[in-house]
């Protein structure tokens, strides 16, 4: 993992245990650059939220240190860290207007009335809610309330904003809309942002880099495209997007290419994602959209399969076939291609390029 010298947030050998025995965060080394949108992604219990709570000061570090702008903050109370927070439940005061909700953190800081009014108006404009300044939270939609929560986190001009599953309570369409709004706001303001989610779609859409957590450790730290196209291990491949996984044994290796014999006997040409040796067990990763129907004769991998199921998804067709001894091999085909869907029971030929199939090791 690269460690930039200009890290604005640094987790240095950080550990966290609640019972003195079991580590929920294990020797974490993570650097976040100033102005970066960093997402901590992982399943429940992976340690991502605990890392955010330690950075915010709501949880103490069991070992190691967290640095903010080069200074250790382990002994610094939450209110002195100059960090904005956005939570899933918005945490707005129901009896106050939107403008009053935004003014509250500034009044706590004892800013003058004119300064408070100026900043509130600027924050309302930033999230396009000036016309709703006098409404109470219950009079706003979920998306509007979340925009108020974001504005409140930014109103005192912090250098760091933490977001903990902020879109989890919204429906799918509104959640996707808010992803773009938060990302555009970040791009415009350039505030260092640490975002926690278990939704890999959010992580791919919004982030500069993503740290994929599992069992208290970072499995891979990379850009969204790097994670999706070149997962470092089987966990990342399965967690980031849909993935076809085939188990087998390496038969030969030539440079970064290898030939793998699946457990059902087929030979597959693939790219070795890590150094492999002949005779070694491996797991093959192949994205469903990289599989071609009726591939060209020169295709690196080509197989005749039986169609098990075809599901119409509007923008694409999802075809499940029986291949290499598995009945859950999935192919995604763009609807724009105008292909006639196959019927269950029909046989067809599918294939893919070796470069799209990654041998990840056992």
Over the stretch 151-195, which tens digit does the pLDDT of each residue have?
888 888 888 999 999 888 788 888 888 898 889 889 988 999 999
Q: Give the C-alpha separation, 111 to 151, whole Å.
A: 17
User: With pLDDT > 90 as the criterion, what percentage of the chain qualifies?
Assistant: 68
E-state strands within the chain: 7-17, 23-33, 37-41, 63-68, 71-72, 83-87, 160-164, 192-197, 209-214, 217-222, 244-254, 257-262, 267-272, 281-286, 292-293, 301-312, 316-323, 326-334, 347-352, 357-359
Domains of the chain by start residue, with CATH: 7-234 (3.40.50.300), 243-359 (2.40.50.100)
Average pLDDT for the chain: 91
pLDDT for 1: 41
Residue 40 has pLDDT above 90, yes or no: yes
> How large is the average pLDDT for residues 69-89?
89
Over the stretch 215-224, which tens digit does the pLDDT of each residue have?
999 999 999 9
Q: Are 145 and 138 in contact (CB under 8 A)?
A: no
Return the biggest CA–CA distance within the chain.
76
User: Exposed, middle or buried, 321 (CB in 10 Å: 0-12/13-18/19+)?
Assistant: buried
List the strands of the sheet with 63-68, edge to edge: 23-33, 7-17, 63-68, 71-72
Over the stretch 280-307, which tens digit does the pLDDT of each residue have?
999 999 999 999 888 877 789 999 999 9
Residue with tokens 């039986």, as numbered in its chain: 306
Count of other CB atoms within 10 angstroms of residue 255: 7
């Amino acid at each position: 993992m690269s460690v930039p010298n200009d890290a604005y947030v640094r987790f240095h050998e950080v550990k966290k245990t609640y019972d003195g025995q079991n580590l929920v965060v294990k020797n974490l080394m993570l650097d976040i650059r100033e102005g970066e949108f960093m997402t901590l992604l992982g399943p429940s219990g992976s340690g991502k939220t605990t890392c955010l709570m330690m950075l915010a000061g709501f949880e103490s570090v069991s070992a190691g240190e967290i640095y903010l702008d080069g200074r250790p903050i382990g002994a610094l109370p939450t209110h002195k860290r100059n960090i904005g927070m956005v939570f899933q439940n918005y945490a707005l005061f129901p009896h106050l207007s939107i403008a009053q909700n935004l003014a509250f953190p500034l009044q706590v800081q004892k800013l003058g009335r004119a300064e408070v009014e100026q900043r509130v108006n600027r924050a309302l404009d930033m999230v396009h809610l000036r016309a709703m300044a006098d409404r109470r939270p219950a009079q706003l939609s979920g998306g509007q309330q979340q925009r108020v929560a974001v504005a409140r986190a930014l109103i005192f001009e912090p250098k760091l904003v933490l977001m903990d599953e902020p879109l989890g309570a919204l429906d799918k369409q509104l959640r996707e809309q808010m992803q773009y709004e938060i990302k555009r706001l970040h791009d415009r303001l350039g505030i260092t942002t640490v975002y926690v989610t278990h939704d890999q779609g959010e992580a791919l859409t919004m982030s500069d880099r993503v740290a994929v957590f599992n069992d208290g450790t970072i499995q891979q730290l990379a850009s969204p495209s790097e994670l999706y196209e070149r997962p470092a291990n089987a966990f990342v491949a399965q967690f980031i997007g849909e993935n076809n996984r085939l188990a087998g044994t390496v038969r030969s290796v030539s440079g970064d290419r290898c030939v793998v014999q699946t457990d059902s006997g087929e030979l597959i040409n693939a790219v070795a994602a890590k150094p492999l040796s002949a005779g070694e067990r491996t797991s093959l990763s192949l994205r469903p959209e990289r599989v071609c129907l009726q591939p060209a004769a020169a295709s690196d991998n080509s197989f005749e399969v039986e169609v098990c199921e075809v599901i119409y998804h509007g923008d694409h067709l999802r075809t499940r076939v029986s291949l290499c001894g598995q009945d859950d091999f999935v192919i995604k085909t763009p609807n724009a291609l105008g292909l006639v869907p196959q019927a269950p029971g029909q046989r067809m030929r599918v294939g893919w390029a070796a470069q799209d199939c990654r041998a990840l090791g056992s």
